[in-house]
Structure 1
């Protein structure tokens, strides 16, 4: 759709006709005082002149029309696109310690380790967070920022899929992960500070204790949701045959519960991939995305193209009028 910023400039369009009309009424004594452009228009308008004069007139008029349309500030509005409004800033802290390689989960009817299950569920969760900025923290013996807060959910998802067990060490620094999340969420509105921490163990490393970090998070209005991942029963092959063990015996549920309660979040227990998927659906409800998208039209400015066209047509008109004068001089 074409839009004119200053449509009143179109009132200047008949100016050349007014100049021709004025030129026809003036006396021969004042012809030398007339505007050179009007003189050329009057000369070119005569029916007795050659085709070159007509071409010069057409080029001048085309340049004038292009110039007037350029002055109006024309803009082409493209098709409207949906822009999601600004939502929450969500950091996801993902445990990459050695215990995340325990194969006690099922994914697509096949055995899978805990990290594979977490990646699968996180992929769906991240893709649904349109309008939110999402970032990734990975932690093991230390905590690292894998992906800063960004609206580019496709890239965030790709970085999650590229994580591997052991990237951050073999132990579990829960307190450091919370502390890093607080640092990345500082200076954000209170209702937008959300940290989702997923782990399968207890705090065994780090410089900051988890409860101390949780108290600081509460003071900064950072909501921390904690997820304990890992099955409670698993059959393994022992010396005397198969036996059932609890692969999540190291999971510190009381600690994760305290962290969530101190910060106004919730603790979730994921014993299977299905439970983990259900948890992230609940988190979608607890931390809803913005409701209504806004519409935005791409705007293309046409001023420079019309200005260039007017310049080219003016050059063509000058060349045409110059060739006419040259022929006159050559005629005996």
Structure 2
């Protein structure tokens, strides 16, 4: 943000002193040294307001230069330490179930999840976020990106059935960990959401637990619906291996609180450094003042103007 100011604004008050002197303190040097100079000059001198203008331009220019005008440009250098986050969302056939949102019982679980996830994306200003959609197969709906509006559009475009009807939790985790393993971010997070039990993965439970435990990715697992819908102990084991936390949500409000809790646990750090740049502008009024005074002296002496 640009801001104009004077370093020594009190100097401008001297304009009053000059004005008072010019009005009430007439110069007497001419009378002392050249008592008849006015009559001698009157033959070729003519009255002119130009000298008065030049004099005051010179005076004002000098005062402005002495007041030291400064243009200040202030900005912040932000050092963002965001996280890389993979959102893993179940789109199997069981996500068609309605009644998960008491305020709108006609919405499916999947529709509610998309709303809550979009809100979570909005809050993660400094993170790269990607999206895995899984059911019978797992696919990358969006790579890691800073473009939050683009990602929210991708989330809104997700549909039930495009990845099949069954549930492949382990395969989805494998996809996510493969992506995050290539990330150079210092902090990596995976958030798995499902309402089912793995019945389609090609990778075994032992293999995925070993992969998770050896990775530097923190894993949060969320089971939605009733405890009969998902395998709570398994999701808890996954979260424990991933040094994260297991959550269960029975409705939209509980799910929103879970994502809010994860948002607080995984706060991104921002360090800001204030940088101020000063541009001194005294040279411009000083240049104008010198020119005005030079013309003043020239007209006064060479042309006989007064």
- Matching residue within 251, 255, 265 for 2:234: 255
Which of 132, 140, 144 matches 1:145? 140
Which of 100, 105, 111 pairs up with 2:106? 111
Matches for 1:256-295 after TM superposition, within 5 Å:
256-292=235-271
The TM-score, its normalising length taken from structure 1, stands at 0.58
The answer to whether the 8 Å contact 2:78/2:271 transfers is no
Matched, 1:158 2:148: no
- Contact residue 78 and residue 270 of structure 2 kept, 8 A: no
Q: Describe the shift of the 1:86–1:101 C-alpha distance in structure 2 as closer, same or farther (beyond 3 A).
A: same
In structure 2, the partner of 1:322 is: none
Q: Which of the two has higher C-alpha Rg?
A: 2
TM-superposed CA distance for 1:111, in Å, is 3.2
Work out whether 1:221 is the aligned partner of 2:236: no
**Contact residue 190 and residue 222 of structure 1 kept, 8 A:** no
Aligned to 2:166: 171
The aligned residue for residue 117 of structure 2 is 122
- 8 Å contact kept, 1:82–1:294: yes
Q: Tell me the residue number matched to 1:133.
A: 128
| Deviation readout 1:32-91 (Å, 9 max, x if unpaired) | xxxxxxxxxxxxxxxxxxxxxxxxxxxxxxxxxxxxxxxxxxxxx988578571310000
SS in 2 for 1:250: coil
Contact 1:178 1:210 survives alignment (8 Å): no
Q: 1:262 Cα shift?
A: 1.0
CA gap of 1:107–1:164, structure 2 versus 1, over 3 A, is farther
1:255 and 1:130, CA in 2 relative to 1: closer, same or farther beyond 3 A? same
- Note if contact 1:93-1:198 (Cα within 8 Å) is conserved in structure 2: yes
Matches within 5 A, 1:73-92: 80=75, 85-92=80-87
Query: CA deviation digits over 1:257-295, x for unaligned, max 9?
Result: 100011111100010000000001110121112234567
State the shift of 1:119 in Å. 0.8
Task: State the superposition RMSD in angstroms.
Answer: 2.6
Distance 1:273 1:295 in 2: 41
User: Which residue in 2 is equivalent to 1:181?
Assistant: 176
Give aligned pairs, total.
Answer: 208
Distance 1:293 1:114, change over 3 A: farther
Structure of greater relative contact order (alpha carbons < 8 Å, 6+ residues apart): 2
Gaps of 5+ in 1: 3-76, 233-247, 298-332
Is this contact kept in 1: 2:212–2:238, CA < 8 A? Answer: no
Instruction: Give the distance between the partners of 1:173 and 1:294, measured in 2 at CA.
Output: 46
